């Protein structure tokens, strides 16, 4: 490549870089601050207040028929694959359901009922 072509390529590259830098500087000048200065400042924490227990405020939801079926089949000792094929849903869905607190509560309740029934009969 002759020197003249190299010079023109370098000049073109320099022009592009300077125009990019110019556009970037204009953007920075016209940019608004991330936090609006007109917003009220947050109030300080009142240290005299007693600490609040970290408890959930939402009670467990009532189970719908599918959740109830999953919980009862789990309580009977059925495998995840058996439950999935019986209810026509995926094994992953059964696993996700089995982690929910209301399902765990129902499984425990069903176990307690089975134990109570077994102790009465024999």
DSSP annotation string for 54-87: ----SPPPPPPHHHHHHHHHHHTT--HHHHHHHH
* Assigned domain for 57 exists: no
Q: How far apart are the first and last CA of the chain?
A: 99
The pLDDT, as a whole number, for residue 1 is 54
Average pLDDT over residues 30-55: 70
The encoded tokens of residue 63 equal 């189970």
The pLDDT, as a whole number, for residue 35 is 64
Average pLDDT over residues 57-79: 84
Average pLDDT over residues 87-102: 93
- Full-prediction pTM beyond 0.85? no
The pLDDT, as a whole number, for residue 24 is 67
* Assigned domain for 94 exists: yes
Asked if residue 52 has pLDDT above 90, the reply is no
What total of structural domains would you count in the chain? 1
* Assigned domain for 38 exists: no
The pLDDT, as a whole number, for residue 86 is 93
Burial of 111 (0-12, 13-18, 19+ CB in 10 A): middle
* Assigned domain for 45 exists: no
Whole-number Å distance between alpha carbons of 74 and 68? 10
Using a pLDDT cut of 70, give the percent of the chain over it. Answer: 65
Asked if residue 66 has pLDDT above 70, the reply is yes
* Assigned domain for 101 exists: yes
Its domain, for residue 96, covers 65-121
* Assigned domain for 105 exists: yes
* Assigned domain for 44 exists: no
* Assigned domain for 114 exists: yes
Asked if residue 111 has pLDDT above 80, the reply is yes
C-alpha triplet 51, 56, 62: angle, nearest 5°? 160
């Amino acid at each position: 490549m002759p020197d003249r072509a190299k010079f023109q390529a370098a000049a073109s590259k320099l022009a592009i870089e300077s125009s990019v830098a110019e556009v970037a500087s204009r953007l920075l000048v016209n940019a608004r601050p991330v936090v609006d200065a007109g917003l009220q400042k947050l109030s300080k924490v009142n240290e005299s207040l007693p600490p609040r227990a970290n408890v959930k405020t939402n009670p467990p939801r009532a189970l719908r028929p599918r959740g109830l079926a999953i919980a009862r089949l789990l309580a009977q000792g059925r495998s995840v694959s058996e439950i999935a094929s019986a209810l026509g849903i995926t094994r992953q869905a059964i696993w996700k359901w089995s982690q929910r607190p209301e399902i765990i509560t129902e499984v425990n309740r069903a176990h307690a009922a089975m134990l109570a029934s077994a102790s009465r009969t024999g």
